[in-house]
Structure 1
Amino acid sequence: MVPLRMLLSHPDLGLRLIAGDAADLEVRWAHVSELDDPTPWLEGGELLLTTGLSTRWGDDGALQYCQRLVERGVAALGVSVGSDLAYQEVPEALVDAAEKTGLRLILVPHLTPLQSVVRAVADSISSASAQPLRSLIDAQQKLMSEAASGSGLSGATSRLRAMSGLSIAVYDIRLRAVIDDPDIVLGAEVRRRIRRQLLQDRQGSISIQEDADRSLIVLPLVTEGRVRGFAVSSTHGPFALDQRALLKVAAPVLSLLLDLHDMADAPVRSARAQLATLLLSARDGTEHLPSTFATARVNAATTQVISARTLSVAQRRAFLAGLNDLAGDALVLNDQDQTTVILCDPLPDVFDRLSALVAELELGNAGIGEPGPVERTPQSLTEAVRAQNAARTRDVPLATAPKQGHQLRRVFRGDEERLAEFPRSVLGPLDAHDHANPRHELLPTLRAYFDSIASIEASAMTMQIHRHTMRARLKRIAELSGYDISDSSQYLELWLAVELRSQLAT
Structure 2
Amino acid sequence: MQPPTVRGLLAEPPLRLRVRLDGDGRDTAIDWVHSSDLVDPTPFLTGDTMLLTTGTQFPADDDAAFYGSYADRLLDAGVVALGFGLEVIREGTPPSLVDACDARGITLVEVPYEVPFIALIRWVADRIAARDRERDAWTLAAQRAVSLSALTAGTLEAVVQTLADQVSGAVVILSPSGETVVEVHSAAVDLGALADEGRRILRRGTRASADVTLPEWLGFATVQTLGPRGALRGAIGIAGAGRHDVATQAVVTGAVAIVEVLLRYGDAERRLERRLGGVLVRLLLDGHLAGAGAAAAEFGSKIPDALRIAVVPLPAGVADAERDRLLDELTREGLAFADSSAERVVAVVPAAATDAFSRAVAGSATLAALPVGLSAVLAPAEASTGLAQAVRALDQDPDAGVHVFGDSAAGLLDDLWSPAAENLARRRLGVLVGEPGELVDCARLWLDHNGHWESAAREAGLHRHTLKARIARIGTLLELDLDSFAGRAELWALLQASRA
Partner of 1:152: 154
Partner of 1:312: 319
- Confirm whether residue 106 of structure 1 aligns to residue 107 of structure 2: no
For residues 322-333 of structure 1, the aligned pairs below 5 Å read 322-323=329-330, 329-333=335-339
The structural deviation recorded for 1:295 is 2.9
The structural deviation recorded for 1:91 is 3.8
CA contact (8 A) 2:62 2:95 kept: no
CA contact (8 A) 2:314 2:343 kept: yes
Partner of 2:392: 386
CA contact (8 A) 2:283 2:289 kept: yes
Per-residue CA deviation, residues 391-415 of structure 1 (Å, 9 max, x unaligned), is 5xx6767755586897599699xxx
The structural deviation recorded for 1:276 is 2.3
Distance 1:369 1:411 in 2: 12
SS in 2 for 1:103: strand
The structural deviation recorded for 1:292 is 1.9
Partner of 1:346: 353
Per-residue CA deviation, residues 473-493 of structure 1 (Å, 9 max, x unaligned), is xxxxxxxxxxxx9x9959x99
Partner of 1:375: 381
SS in 1 for 2:92: helix
Per-residue CA deviation, residues 143-163 of structure 1 (Å, 9 max, x unaligned), is 674377565336634532431
Which residue of 252, 271, 276 corresponds with 2:257? 252
Which residue of 46, 50, 66 corresponds with 1:47? 50
SS in 2 for 1:24: coil
Which residue of 284, 304, 308 corresponds with 1:303? 308
CA contact (8 A) 1:304 1:377 kept: yes
1:282/1:68 CA distance change after superposition, 3 Å:
closer
CA contact (8 A) 1:27 1:46 kept: yes
CA contact (8 A) 2:339 2:346 kept: yes
Distance 1:166 1:181 in 2: 9
- Confirm whether residue 162 of structure 1 aligns to residue 165 of structure 2: yes
1:212/1:372 CA distance change after superposition, 3 Å:
farther
Distance 2:197 2:65 in 1: 64
Letter in structure 2 aligned against 1:256: V
Which residue of 282, 287, 304 corresponds with 1:283? 287
- Confirm whether residue 226 of structure 1 aligns to residue 227 of structure 2: no
Partner of 1:24: 27
The structural deviation recorded for 1:139 is 7.4
Per-residue CA deviation, residues 256-305 of structure 1 (Å, 9 max, x unaligned), is 023235546776555433322223x1333346526625734356343231
CA contact (8 A) 1:174 1:324 kept: no
Partner of 2:83: 77
The structural deviation recorded for 1:342 is 2.4
The structural deviation recorded for 1:194 is 12
1:336/1:488 CA distance change after superposition, 3 Å:
farther
Per-residue CA deviation, residues 200-245 of structure 1 (Å, 9 max, x unaligned), is 5858899999x999xx999875367535577788x9xx98775996
SS in 1 for 2:381: helix
Distance 2:279 2:93 in 1: 89
The structural deviation recorded for 1:329 is 1.0
Partner of 2:92: 93
Identity %: 17
Q: How many residues align?
A: 398
Letter in structure 2 aligned against 1:346: A
Distance 1:23 1:165 in 2: 27
SS in 2 for 1:340: strand
Per-residue CA deviation, residues 82-141 of structure 1 (Å, 9 max, x unaligned), is xxxxx7x46433399999977212368899799x96x9999999x999999979975784
Which residue of 322, 335, 352 corresponds with 2:341? 335
Distance 1:99 1:378 in 2: 93
Letter in structure 1 aligned against 2:155: L
SS in 1 for 2:154: helix
Distance 2:417 2:47 in 1: 97
Distance 1:195 1:113 in 2: 48
Partner of 1:480: none
The structural deviation recorded for 1:307 is 2.3
Letter in structure 2 aligned against 1:340: V
1:196/1:179 CA distance change after superposition, 3 Å:
closer
Per-residue CA deviation, residues 24-74 of structure 1 (Å, 9 max, x unaligned), is 354477473444x989999996534444334356xx849998898778756
Distance 1:199 1:27 in 2: 39
Structure 1, gaps ≥5 residues long: 10-14, 82-86, 184-188, 413-418, 428-484, 501-506
Distance 1:195 1:320 in 2: 23
The structural deviation recorded for 1:334 is 1.7
The structural deviation recorded for 1:367 is 3.2
Letter in structure 2 aligned against 1:336: A
Instruction: Tell me how large the CA RMSD over aligned residues is.
Output: 6.8
Structure 2, gaps ≥5 residues long: 187-191, 429-473, 480-489
